[in-house]
Amino acid sequence: MFEGAGRSLWKEGVQQGKEATLLENLQSLVKRLHLSTEQAMDALDIPPEKREGIRKKLLPSS
């Protein structure tokens, strides 16, 4: 499908899309089901080693 640099960019784009979807799903669970961030991460089976990085991305930019 893609080769060389194009493949790398494609993979990076796919990863960014997955991350954006994960963050949207977390925010939706927190807002609509009134779950804590931790409970929402549990519901989505997010591994403990990835949670801190995700928490930082959930915080609004200052």
In the predicted structure, residue 8 carries a pLDDT above the cut 90: no
In the predicted structure, residue 62 carries a pLDDT above the cut 70: no
Predicted local distance difference test score (pLDDT) of residue 49? 96
Asked whether the beta carbons of 50 and 15 are under 8 A apart, the reply is no
Domain residue ranges in the chain? 4-58
Q: What is the pLDDT of residues 11-51, one digit of tens each?
A: 899 999 999 999 999 999 999 999 999 999 999 999 999 99
pTM of the model: 0.77
Name every residue whose Cβ is closer than 8 Å to that of residue 57 and which is 6 or more positions away in sequence. Answer: 19, 23
